[in-house]
Structure 1
Amino acid sequence: MHLIKERLGLNPLLVTYNKYFNSALGIRNLANLRIRFDCDILVQNVNPVSVRKITRATLRQFGSIYWHCLAGQTVFPVQTAVRYGVPLIIWGAHQGLEQVGMFSHEHEVEMTRRYRTDHDLMGQDPDMLLSIFDTLTEDDIWQYRYPADTDLHTVGVRGIYLGNYVRWDPKAQHEQMAAKHDYRGAAFARTFDTYDHVDCYNYMDVHDQIKLYKQGYSKVTDHACREIRHGRLTRSQGLALVQQHELAPLKHLDKFCEWLGVTERSLQFILDQHRDPRYWTQTQPGRWDFHGESTRLDAASGYNNAPIDIGFRGTDRLAFDGDGSYITVGKGYP
């Protein structure tokens, strides 16, 4: 927003998808952003009953509690552009460029339906969730459908990524937003990054645990690799941080179980079905040994066990000034 509004002089319409896992701190940051930059904002609120049904289905079918968030976040801006005749969508970083190296800046990659389906949605279009063996209906999934190509062509919608044009450094950018515009961060148990995803109770909690079950590594590995690329960590320091955080216990599992309407034991039974046997071995009922990549490397090599401080500061709590419950619909701040 700082780049778009203050440096480029644009007056954007902000759009966001309500994931329903909102933290009070996230609601505060979003309201503060809107107020500071004096922008209008549209929020998409899908029927919470449908969101729960979708989450149960995606969790059972392919082990994701975040499919609806990814689907909503990647389609609502496109639907809004078509609805209001806005030809340009400006996204932040492209994951395939900033995180995994699928693309180079030189490719100037733009938003596509195919990338959304294949990668953001794990190959699962909304209509693929419908099944005679499930309870999802047309009324549950229609808001997650991508607009037709004819509609996109009529409006001339294009989606570009700022990461193609400016050096993308999340730590430096968050610190600039904190200093100039009072962005707030919070500490997590499962990573050292105190800026990313403070809007959500589940991303760095249950969702991150599922990633570890399925992929053998978690978000702290992504964060460590990013900081190594930016020269703020050595490889041995990064590995030490990964081993310190990746198996940290969950703090907000009870909230998710209450929201979904299941017990923790029932949820764990479903999650265990999605553990990759390359990284997990069941030693006895309810007990698993982890042998992911981080366990096969020596963190001590080239590292003197000194405390690692690369400057992440999280001075607030996700609950901010509330009781720690999900914020279904935020009223803004102050």
Structure 2
Amino acid sequence: MNFCNRCLYPENHALNIILDEQGVCSGCRVHEEKYQIDWTTKEKELDALLSQYKGRTGSSYDCVIPVVGTGDDFFVVDLVKNKYGLNPLLVTYNTHFSTKVGVRNLARLITELDCDHMMSTVGPDTIKEICKITLKKFGDMYWHVLAGSQTFPVQVATKLDIPLIIWGVNGWLDQVGMFSHHDRVEMTKKVRKEHAMRGVDAEALIGVSDKVTHKDLQAFTYPSDAQLEKSRVRGLYIGNYVFWDSQKQIENAITKFGYETHSQERTYNTYESIHCFNNASVHDYIKYLKFGYAKVSDHVARDIRLKRISKADGISLIKRYLNVKPKALQLFLDWVGISEEEFVSCIDPFRDPAAWQKMDDGSWFCKGSVLEAAINLHTGQELEVVDPREYKQTDLLEDQTAFNEYILLGRTYMDKRNYKAVEG
């Protein structure tokens, strides 16, 4: 396995990367654009774009913004509403995997920024059955989250005649350099299916189980071409127009809005994915079992590119978190109703042979990870650390150490005495 000489990403990245003649990946090369672009000009371009949608007659909302309550959501909503003056409708696909801190942060987002909000919640039994289907067919328990979160906003926009959806960062650009900032790629039906959903649309689940019908898949069914043509919905990525820096953005949300952060089992980043029990745990563990890298690799790559940690520090962090088996796995298995053996048997057919080798005794050996590679720390492509930062751990308003239940819908509060969370 070859690794990027700069950010340590493996060449078998699921989103595809290209290593150039210097052994530097396409994600790093596109990241270099951030230091070359005139962002003032880009922001003026964004202002001109958004002004076309501001104060439209016949509608209460200027745009739709998909949110789950992450720190980046605070940044986007604050920017769109308070800097550019649009009136957004916030929309959320309920993942069924919510954490207490995640529920509070979402409520905090809606409250602090004073926005209207809609949520889509699919029946729990349907979600459990879909998880079983996608685990067996694709080795993926998180398909419904990706499908729902990128379908519901478009459904709302088309039904309410809101022609603009504003997304945060284009992950395929930011992680692997699939696009350039100059391409101004927008979110479309094609992008959603080919990249976010790995080419698998809702129709692929029909006929696999008699418990899942067309009606059950409504939440994951994209509007028709006729509906899209009539509504003229477009999806803009804010990351094409501002220097996207999650760590700084979320630190601002901590200071300005009281955003809560939380430690995680499989990464050192305390800011992201904390709204969900599974994003950085079971879902991420599956990524490791399939490809030999994980979310900690994503965070290390980004922090190296932003000149915040060294390559050596990055390797140490990956070694610390990469093969951690999450405690949340048993919670997921109990919730979905399968054994760990069944779970592993669903994943095994999808292990990348470039990363994993099956041994004679039936066990698996991860031959293609940073843990096993002889990484050269001095290739000449390393970046100097100029902005070292640590991820902050805020005080939590409520204990979240137990991994004993998901929250479907929960009571929330932004201080300990609100809604009588404590007596007095």
Q: Which category describes the TM-score, using the shorter chain as reference length?
A: over 0.9
Higher relative contact order (CA 8 A, sep 6+): 1
Indicate yes or no: 2:185 matched with 1:109.
yes
Instruction: Give the counterpart of 1:203 among 264, 272, 279.
Output: 279
Counterpart for residue 390 of structure 2:
311
Point out the more displaced range, 274-283 or 100-109: 274-283
Q: Which has the larger radius of gyration?
A: 2
Indicate yes or no: 2:371 matched with 1:291.
no
1:272 match: secondary structure: helix
Partner Cα separation in structure 1 for residue 400 and residue 290 of structure 2: 35
Instruction: Give the counterpart of 1:2 among 61, 66, 78.
Output: 78
Partner Cα separation in structure 2 for residue 318 and residue 191 of structure 1: 22
Indicate yes or no: 2:120 matched with 1:11.
no
Partner Cα separation in structure 1 for residue 361 and residue 126 of structure 2: 34
Give the superposition deviation at 1:285: 5.1
The verdict on how the C-alpha distance between 1:135 and 1:186 changes in structure 2, with shifts beyond 3 A counting, is: same
CA contact (8 A) 1:89 1:158 kept: yes
Once the two structures are superposed, what CA deviation does each residue of 1:84-139 show, in whole Å capped at 9, x if it has no partner? 11011111111111111111111111111111111111110100111357653212
CA contact (8 A) 1:236 1:300 kept: no
Counterpart for residue 408 of structure 2:
328
Indicate yes or no: 2:308 matched with 1:232.
yes
TM-score using structure 2 length: 0.73
Counterpart for residue 188 of structure 1:
264
Partner Cα separation in structure 2 for residue 140 and residue 33 of structure 1: 30
Amino acid paired to 1:226: R
Partner Cα separation in structure 1 for residue 216 and residue 319 of structure 2: 40
Amino acid paired to 1:16: T
Instruction: Give the counterpart of 2:197 among 102, 113, 121.
Output: 121
Indicate yes or no: 2:196 matched with 1:141.
no
Partner Cα separation in structure 1 for residue 79 and residue 175 of structure 2: 21
Counterpart for residue 62 of structure 1:
138
1:13 match: secondary structure: strand
Partner Cα separation in structure 1 for residue 218 and residue 115 of structure 2: 28
Give the superposition deviation at 1:142: 2.2
Partner Cα separation in structure 1 for residue 316 and residue 397 of structure 2: 25
CA contact (8 A) 2:304 2:310 kept: yes
Once the two structures are superposed, what CA deviation does each residue of 1:237-279 show, in whole Å capped at 9, x if it has no partner? 2122111210112121111011101122322332333322322
Point out the more displaced range, 322-331 or 57-66: 322-331
Amino acid paired to 1:259: W
Give the superposition deviation at 1:143: 2.0
CA contact (8 A) 1:201 1:318 kept: no
Partner Cα separation in structure 1 for residue 200 and residue 325 of structure 2: 30
Give the superposition deviation at 1:329: 1.2
CA contact (8 A) 1:27 1:333 kept: no
The verdict on how the C-alpha distance between 1:132 and 1:295 changes in structure 2, with shifts beyond 3 A counting, is: closer
The verdict on how the C-alpha distance between 1:240 and 1:323 changes in structure 2, with shifts beyond 3 A counting, is: closer
Partner Cα separation in structure 1 for residue 355 and residue 395 of structure 2: 34
CA contact (8 A) 1:186 1:318 kept: no
Partner Cα separation in structure 2 for residue 275 and residue 121 of structure 1: 18
CA contact (8 A) 2:99 2:277 kept: yes
Point out the more displaced range, 160-169 or 2-11: 2-11
Partner Cα separation in structure 2 for residue 46 and residue 266 of structure 1: 25
Give the superposition deviation at 1:301: 4.0
**Percent identity of the aligned residues?**
39
Instruction: Give the counterpart of 1:81 among 148, 157, 163.
Output: 157
Partner Cα separation in structure 1 for residue 303 and residue 212 of structure 2: 41
Once the two structures are superposed, what CA deviation does each residue of 1:292-311 show, in whole Å capped at 9, x if it has no partner? 231343468469xxxxx731
Indicate yes or no: 2:250 matched with 1:171.
no
CA contact (8 A) 1:18 1:46 kept: yes
Indicate yes or no: 2:151 matched with 1:72.
no
TM-score using structure 1 length: 0.92
Amino acid paired to 2:307: G
Point out the more displaced range, 283-292 or 223-232: 283-292
Partner Cα separation in structure 2 for residue 299 and residue 23 of structure 1: 37
Cα RMSD, aligned residues only: 2.1
1:86 match: secondary structure: coil
Counterpart for residue 306 of structure 1:
none
Once the two structures are superposed, what CA deviation does each residue of 1:150-174 show, in whole Å capped at 9, x if it has no partner? 2122122111010011100111111
Indicate yes or no: 2:350 matched with 1:247.
no
1:225 match: secondary structure: helix
Partner Cα separation in structure 2 for residue 331 and residue 135 of structure 1: 31
Aligned pairs, number: 329
Partner Cα separation in structure 2 for residue 293 and residue 130 of structure 1: 36
The verdict on how the C-alpha distance between 1:240 and 1:321 changes in structure 2, with shifts beyond 3 A counting, is: closer
Unaligned 5+ runs, structure 2: 1-76, 383-387, 415-424
Counterpart for residue 218 of structure 1:
294
Partner Cα separation in structure 2 for residue 227 and residue 123 of structure 1: 29
